[in-house]
């Protein structure tokens, strides 16, 4: 959500900024802009919509050697050119781009208005840049960076800032609760909210910590704390192999669905090494009395599958919570709790806040994350990567399956560490790899074509199949904007059967052999009301009336605990083709962001 890039060097500043902003498109945005500087002249160019709109209106500023850019996802004020970043201070002395949310911006804005500051946008960011200008005018504030630090001391909330001053040839930066990174290479400097921008620029980068500030100028990179005491930092190596931008497919979403199998292979290779479990094995599992799993969206659904795995493997209760609700729930969390936090990006604001609460309550915190340099990966007591590789499409696909697989391995490892037996994980994951191999693509396209004109869909299931139904609904909502909703099959007669009518599609998930007959009986109730039925199952239907179903998706059978990971792949593909059939872009759903860094 939102993206920052800054550059200082000899290349065309405008081209560098625009090209790097394109790498941040996957995070989600509704407008973009850049500010470039030559001497004391700062030129700002902004546009609503796609970066292509910005690219069309950007004109080079002669002599420009540095600049900052931004992709905005609206939080304060509607998406428009005026609200787009960068923002200038009232007297045009300062220019800023900002990720995050300033919670007390309204009070600060009132204070600044009383000092005769005027505002042109609806954003909290314009408050920040004017606050910096206000402090820079005070006689006791002798340095530009000190003005930025003073302003940041007044901010409640989250921010990553890139700042220009009209009279300085420096790029200033500040970080609190939003990711920010920088790198240098042979006299060039780059600042970004995602290390993805350093690919092709440098093979290492620096990670900014909360409450850290700094600047780059005249060939010097400087870091400091809030007291302006210089801090020393060691660069982190950039794993360029993790960023595979090559795409021979029409969209990243379908490419990433085909990469599900590769993700499982990566996990198997990584976790076959004992060293991968070194820190995790330090946990005293005999002292663990309860397990919590926390996530948002797709990660929450993976957590539901993981909880079923843990309960079945370990015989222990495992609670699953939406991160935004966990923060306010009266759940028992203490030193005997293992709290597992799942996130693709590792920057999800609600998940980070939940992790902070669990940590303060004394729980042992474990991050299950795709982005290994992320905040969640760094702040949790323990970290296990899902090894899915870079995921560009907003709708998560391969990361979802990878999260389930790593949770499966976690349960197996705990079971082994407790001396409760071994799980044949290698053989089961090989079966899963076979199960997720994509087959029958034309069948899925025909289903997508059948569903594309629907305004709503129902999905029903029982047990772990319900998790698959939830995730299938989410994929369809995200990519094609059809109002797909999941219900427990046993709840049919408790309300939503009233909505079922002639030719209404009901999608049935029934891969749990023990619950098959009950789920199919519920499906027949919908059929009797005129519904059309689509069945997804790995079970043998020889003893059932298959003619009840208009369409059947037969999935390969695997370990029943991993079956949800196999059963979701056809629906990821169907969701993709519905989106394409409707003329939408499945990689960039409207109003959504890949990395949700604000509440």
Measure the CA dihedral 135/138/141/144, to 10°. 50
1 closest CA partner among 350, 469, 254, 248: 350
Residue 552, helix vs strand vs coil: strand
Dist CA 437 CA 595 (whole Å) = 28
Q: Which two tokens stand for residue 77?
A: 């004020």
Is 296 assigned a catalytic role? no
DSSP for 338-366?
EEEEEESSS--HHHHHHHHHHHHTT-EEE
With contact defined as beta carbons under 8 Å apart, do 190 and 201 qualify?
yes
Alpha helices for 164-316 (secondary structure H) = 252-258, 260-271, 298-314
**Residue ranges of E strands in 394-550:** 456-461, 483-488, 505-509, 532-537
Choosing from 150, 170, 177, 594, the catalytic residue is: 594
Strands 188-192 and 364-369, sheet pairing: unpaired
423 closest CA partner among 514, 309, 512: 309
Is 546 assigned a catalytic role? no
Choosing from 2, 178, 182, 467, the catalytic residue is: 2
Q: Is 174 left (phi over 0), alpha (psi -120 to 50) or beta?
A: beta
With contact defined as beta carbons under 8 Å apart, do 301 and 273 qualify?
no
CB proximity list for 223: less than 8 A, separation 6 or greater = 206, 208, 212, 213, 214, 230, 231, 232, 233
Strands 290-295 and 318-322, sheet pairing: parallel
CB proximity list for 261: less than 8 A, separation 6 or greater = 433, 436, 437
Dist CA 539 CA 355 (whole Å) = 39
Residue 182, helix vs strand vs coil: strand
Q: Catalogue the active-site residues.
A: 2, 594
């Amino acid at each position: 959500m939102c993206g920052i890039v800054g550059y200082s060097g000899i290349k065309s500043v405008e081209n560098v900024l625009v090209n790097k902003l394109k790498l941040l498109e996957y995070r989600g945005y509704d407008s973009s802009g850049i500010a470039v500087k030559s001497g004391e002249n700062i030129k700002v160019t902004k546009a609503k919509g796609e970066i292509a709109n910005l690219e069309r209106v950007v004109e080079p500023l002669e002599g420009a050697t540095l600049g900052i850019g931004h992709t905005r996802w609206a939080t304060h004020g509607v998406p428009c050119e005026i609200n787009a970043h960068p923002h200038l201070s009232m007297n045009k002395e300062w220019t800023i781009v900002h990720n995050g949310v300033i919670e007390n911006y309204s009070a600060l804005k009132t204070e600044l208005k009383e000092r005769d500051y005027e505002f042109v946008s609806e954003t909290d960011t314009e408050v920040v840049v004017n606050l910096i200008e206000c402090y820079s005018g005070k006689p006791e504030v002798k340095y530009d960076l000190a003005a930025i630090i003073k302003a940041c001391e007044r901010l409640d909330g989250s921010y990553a800032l890139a700042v220009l001053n009209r009279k300085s040839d420096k790029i200033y930066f500040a970080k609190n609760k939003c990711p920010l990174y920088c790198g240098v290479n042979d006299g060039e400097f780059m600042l970004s909210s995602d290390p993805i921008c350093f690919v092709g620029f440098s093979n290492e980068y620096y990670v900014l910590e909360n409450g850290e500030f700094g600047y780059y100028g005249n060939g010097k990179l400087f870091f400091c704390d809030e007291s302006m005491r210089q801090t020393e930092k060691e660069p982190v190596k950039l794993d360029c192999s993790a960023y595979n931008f090559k795409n021979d497919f029409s969209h990243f979403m379908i490419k990433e669905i085909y990469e599900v199998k590769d993700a499982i292979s990566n996990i198997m290779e990584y976790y076959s090494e004992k060293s991968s479990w070194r820190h995790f094995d330090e946990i005293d599992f005999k002292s663990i009395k309860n397990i919590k799993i926390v996530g948002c969206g797709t990660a929450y659904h993976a957590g539901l599958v993981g909880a079923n795995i843990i309960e079945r493997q370990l015989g222990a209760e495992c609670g699953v919570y939406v991160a935004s609700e966990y923060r306010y729930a009266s759940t028992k969390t203490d030193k005997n709790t293992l709290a597992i936090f799942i996130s693709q990006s590792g920057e999800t604001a609600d998940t980070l806040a939940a992790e902070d609460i669990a940590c303060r309550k004394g729980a042992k915190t474990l991050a299950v994350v795709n982005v290994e340099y992320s905040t969640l990966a760094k702040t949790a007591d323990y970290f296990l990567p899902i090894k899915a590789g870079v995921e560009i499409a907003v709708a998560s696909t391969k990361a979802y399956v990878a999260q389930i697989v790593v949770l499966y391995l976690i349960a197996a490892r705990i079971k082994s560490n407790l001396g409760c037996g071994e799980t044949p994980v290698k053989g089961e994951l090989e079966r899963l790899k076979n199960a997720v191999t994509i087959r029958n693509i034309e069948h899925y396209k025909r289903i997508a074509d059948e569903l594309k004109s629907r305004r709503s869909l129902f999905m029903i299931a029982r047990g772990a199949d319900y998790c698959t139904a939830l995730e299938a609904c989410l994929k369809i909502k995200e990519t094609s904007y059809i109002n797909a909703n999941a219900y427990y099959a046993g709840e049919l007669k408790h309300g939503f059967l009233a909505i079922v009518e002639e030719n209404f599609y009901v999608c049935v998930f029934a891969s749990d052999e023990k619950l098959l007959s009950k789920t199919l009986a519920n499906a027949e109730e919908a059929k009797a009301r005129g519904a059309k039925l689509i069945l997804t199952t790995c079970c043998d239907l020889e003893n059932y009336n298959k003619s009840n179903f208009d369409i059947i998706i037969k999935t390969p059978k695997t370990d029943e605990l991993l079956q949800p990971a196999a059963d979701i792949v056809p629906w990821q593909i169907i969701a993709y083709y519905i989106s394409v059939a409707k003329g939408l872009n499945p990689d960039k759903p409207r109003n959504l962001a890949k990395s949700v860094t604000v509440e």
